[in-house]
Structure 1
Amino acid sequence: MTDLLPPVSSALLGTGRTEYLSAGTGTGLALAHGAGGDVELNFGPLIRRLAGSRRLVGTRYPGTGASDPAGDLDVFALADSLVAALVREGHERFPVVGSSFGSAVALAAALRHPERVTGLVLTVGFSEPDAQLRTVAAVWEALAAAEDPAVLGAYLISMLTHPRLLAELGAEEHGAQAAAVGAGLPVGGLLQITAATRVDLTGRLGEIAVPTLVVVAGADRVVLPATTRLLGERIAGAEVVEYPGAGHAFTEDEGRLWALDVERFLDGHGI
């Protein structure tokens, strides 16, 4: 059974109506979620592990939660909003943890605000879209146009779920989960995954000059593992950890291991 999250509060930031969530007490830690994801969904294991020692703050992208669906989804604009939320919470310097598309946002934050970002954790991330990610975005767009959220939900489950767990799903449970996922997608999910296909940061990876942890999922079916490994190859001094059997969305056990690895990295570098 999954442990409950610590209390999470929300607030709106600026005139563009960007919602951000915060939890915990201590030094600041910025959280950049994935396309179609959310702060609690993508970072639950980390919030549970670190809320006693860190103030975890993550913005919701346009079209997620109460954030303005017409907001700018360029990674540098998203990075600016995330940094502004941390500063509003009283944190001048902080590391950034990104998940998937959020890893590109984290990179943009380090590039745009080098005086504030002290380290990066790039989980199942990319600096530009690969063929697999472009295909996922194209299928998402086609299924959304067909206005069948249950089929879209089934597709996303097939891409995100660990193969072992997928094999254990009976037809009735699979159908119920597909309907729930399709109905629960944020209104901005499609725009966010489309924005992910426009990321173009590979040429700037050599500019990253802070401690960086790259987390690779060896069985990822959304972002190719080789694409994430490229971050570790192009960022000077980056540390790489790989979970060979993990998919794009971690299981509960993988999530706990990931949170422990993130904690060790942050503490090891004193950031």
Structure 2
Amino acid sequence: MAGPHLVADPDVIQIGSGSPLVLAHGAGGSVTANFGQVIEALSSTRTLVGMNYPGSGGAPEDVGALELGVLADSLVGAAVDAGFERFPILGLSLGTAVAVTAAARHPDRVSGLLLTVGFARADQQLRLVVDTWTALAASGDRHALAGYLVSLSSPAVLGSLDAAAADAAVTTTQDNYPDGGVDQARLAASIDTYDACRELAVPAVVFVAGQDRIVLPESTRRLAAAIPGASMIEYPYAGHIFTPEEASVWIDDISEFLGTHEL
């Protein structure tokens, strides 16, 4: 796979060739962290365009820019600057709210939505996760914070780890934790896009993780119900972050949706 190509802005990644797919990452993630397997699988047939939010992927922190409208407009602008007039958006977690907002604000640009482990309104599980995340971040104990984030993995993932593997996962999470993660998480906890969802008129699919311990699966189902005509695909044993095997199935479903709707 070729290295990322920076377009117009050092926080924007463009890679691959062909029809576009725009990527909106989750809180505490980045384009490459959340979509690395997607990029590897699809860059031979599609152009992937993504934007790191402030505080992720080397983008400088800017709390004032962490607003849904600003992120949505910036993401659309990045895709337009990359040479595309219309494009589908693949969003993950917080990125689903960014994608919905982009589609509502730019209906002439966004041609479809693929929304993964998302929500139209923050639920109590997410709010409690963000409260704990915030407290641990404020304590300065990055190791404890990383341990907490790893503990939110699916039961199947946690059950597969021995002590050494769990320690390694915590260390990796700590080493890759973005400076802006907690501010992005606070934004996620404030989300309410129900009104925007009801106005959408583009093909949409919503991917539900049945063992999600960050966003309640029922909240993701409600997101699908709020979007006129949206379809829904469930992964009963997946958590908020997919394993490589789960991501392979997800990528196949992404490709099928894009092909069916000629996006």
Q: CA deviation at 1:32?
A: 0.0
Aligned to 1:209: 201
Quote how far apart the aligned CAs of 1:6 are: 4.3
Q: How does 1:82-93 map to 2 (within 5 A)?
A: 82-93=75-86
1:178 aligns with 2:170: yes
**Paired residues of 2:7 and 2:82 also in contact (CA < 8 A):** no
Match of 2:6 among 3, 10, 13: 10
1:254 aligns with: 246
Matches within 5 A, 1:36-185: 36-70=28-62, 71-159=64-152, 161-185=153-177
Corresponding letter in the other structure for 2:151 = S
TM-aligned CA deviation for residue 175 of structure 1: 2.1
Structure 1 residue 128, shift from structure 2 partner: 1.4
**TM-superposed deviation, 1:165:** 2.5
Q: Write the letter of the residue equivalent to 2:31.
A: V
Residue ranges of structure 1 left out of the alignment (5+ in a row): none
Answer whether contact 1:35 1:189 (CA < 8 A) is retained.
yes
Give the conservation status (yes or no) of the 8 Å contact 2:117–2:208.
yes
One of 194, 214, 229 as aligned partner of 2:186: 194
**What is the total number of aligned residue pairs between the two structures?**
262
What amino acid sits opposite 2:106 in the alignment? H
Partner residue of 2:235? 243
Q: How does 1:11-26 map to 2 (within 5 A)?
A: 11=7, 13=9, 19-26=11-18
Distance 2:206 2:66 in 1: 23
The 8 Å contact of residues 8 and 81 in structure 2, kept in 1 or not, is answered as no
Amino acid corresponding to residue 8 of structure 1 in structure 2: P
2:156 and 2:237 in contact (8 A); partners too: no
Q: CA shift at 1:183, angstroms?
A: 3.0
Cα distance in 2 between the residues matched to 1:85 and 1:223: 28
Structure 1 residues 12 and 132: CA distance shift in structure 2, 3 A:
farther
How far apart, CA to CA, are the structure 1 residues paired with 2:132 and 2:171? 17
Change (3 A) 1:171 1:12: farther
Query: C-alpha separation between the residues in 2 aligned to 1:165 and 1:32?
Result: 24
Structure 2: distance between partners of 1:65 and 1:251: 21
Q: What TM-score results when the alignment is normalised by the length of structure 1?
A: 0.93
Shift of 1:149: 1.0
Where 2:65 maps in the other structure, the secondary structure is coil
The residue matched to 1:241 in structure 2 has which SS?
A: strand
> Is 1:6–1:47's contact at 8 Å kept on the other side of the alignment?
no
Structure-1 separation of matches of 2:154 and 2:222: 23
Alignment partners' CA distance in 2, 1:242 and 1:204 = 23
Tell me the amino acid that sits aligned with residue 112 of structure 1: R
RMSD: 1.3
Distance across 1 between alignment mates of 2:246 and 2:128: 26
Identity of aligned residues (%): 45
Q: 1:114 to 1:93 in 2, by over 3 A?
A: same
Q: What code does the residue aligned with 1:164 have?
A: A
Alpha-carbon distance in 2 for matches of 1:180, 1:73: 25
Please tell me whether the aligned partners of residues 10 and 20 of structure 1 are also in contact (alpha carbons under 8 angstroms). yes
Letter in 2 for 1:126: F
Q: Which runs of 5+ in 2 are unaligned?
A: none
- The Cα shift of 1:204 comes to 2.5
